[in-house]
Structure 1
């Protein structure tokens, strides 16, 4: 937001600020029309009554969320003991604490839906914990970050599938909240600066035909036909706006310079008033 500028600051200065703002729109239109911060989804708008059919995929998802906490909590505790990096210790503490909160959510959901949950990590997860137990210092840091980053990358698309397809409101809310935790953990792990991105699996190639082209939804068809994405101002349009704005600023500056009151003030200042 531009600050309010008093006319006493001088017409040239005002005109200069107007020109600078318009130039910003020309050379970096996204900065001039910046979107606000992206909030977390409002979880309180979702019901959590256990209503709706529970599919096998829903049960599998709830179990996987439980399993994630069973190995990531002890892994985070190890990070605080075996790492020599304050950053890794902090990441481990945050992820372990947050998984404690997420575990409470999944336990409540499982009780409501009568889903039996495991009480110990699976074979693969226990193997990752054994790797960490045998390492220290930088070696531990790399194993910890690599294993957790890979695991979060695998669960992330699964969450999206359940969130958009489940018929059960409790599973839906758990999926949404789990997604928020996983996004946070991905960011924390990547803030370590040691994620081996080259070792991560690559995304599958896109389909030859965009999904929206085959959709019966006219909104999706229209968005696809328009090229998708968010609307933006074209450079010619912004250029015209800048030209008009510059002309207006110069005209304003000229009028103010010709104001007889300003000339009187200038003479007064020349005499020391």
Structure 2
């Protein structure tokens, strides 16, 4: 009698463990990590000593960060005065205030590296500000959002190139900080619901592949993300393991029932 109860408990235990393992196998990794917060890279651990050669691209980047502040600060201030939309006014305030912080960081880097900075916006930026100044309360919001979103979209990939390629530690840190500011501003602008994505330039087509084309097995392995044997799909492996677990549980139950 005791042996029978022990056998039933063992069978229930095996079934429970198998169910837990099956759930772990079939649950996508992304779902398991859904609650993990997305890390935001900090620049506090990066040196800022002005060490390293400064390229022409580095100098151009520092100048462009300054130019961005020269027109986006007054544009943000204008949004607070002209827009009747509470959300747009808040976006303008946030962007203007954050560009003051970024502008101060940019001027420190420029002074350290001996880079001359402009004191007025360029011709295009002045025309955008004039367009906003001439707009009425009905047309201002869409002009403000579209012009700033387009400008951020152009500078965003350029920041990534500088961040990954510069040899100067101060420029590298400034690029990381600018990247975080621009990403924040793009998100703020898009949260208005006024961005006309049809006017945003699309990405260029990928370059034609050079060299031999991967065989089907290699392409399947890359698509499945196995990183192992070519042509083996992760889902197939999981299904085989799950079937083996079920078969093991069934066999164990039959053995105990026979006893």
Counterpart check, 1:111 vs 2:108: no
In the alignment, the residues of structure 1 paired with residue 244 and residue 80 of structure 2 have an alpha-carbon distance, to the nearest angstrom, of 60
Distance 1:160 1:147 in 2: 21
**1:49 alignment counterpart:** 49
Residue equivalent to 1:87 = 87
Paired position in structure 2 for 1:123? 123
Cα offsets for 1:31-71 (capped at 9, x unmatched): 13548322122312211111111111111110100000011
Taking only aligned residues, the RMSD between alpha carbons, in angstroms, comes to: 3.6
Distance 2:182 2:193 in 1: 18
Q: Secondary structure at the match of 1:31?
A: helix
Partner-residue secondary structure (3-state), 1:119: coil
Residue number in structure 2 paired with 1:162 = 162
Task: Kindly indicate whether structure 1 or structure 2 has the higher relative contact order, using CA contacts under 8 Å at least 6 residues apart.
Answer: 1
Is 1:78–2:99 an aligned residue pair? no
Please, which runs of 5 or more residues in structure 1 have no aligned partner? 1-11, 215-222, 255-273
Structure-2 separation of matches of 1:179 and 1:209? 30
Residues 85, 137 of structure 1: 8 Å contact kept: no
**Residue ranges of structure 2 left out of the alignment (5+ in a row):** 1-11, 213-217, 228-232, 254-259
Alignment of 1:1-273 (within 5 A): 22=22, 26=26, 30-34=30-34, 36-209=36-209, 227=222, 234-243=234-243
Deviation, structure 1 residue 30: 2.8
Pairwise CA distance, 1:85: 1.1
Under a length normalisation based on structure 1, what TM-score does the superposition of the two structures give? 0.73
Answer yes or no: is the 8 Å Cα contact 1:24–1:31 preserved in 2: no
Deviation at 1:20, TM superposition (A): 8.9
Other structure's SS at 2:203 match: coil
Does structure 1 conserve the Cα–Cα contact (< 8 Å) formed by 2:52 and 2:167?
Answer: yes
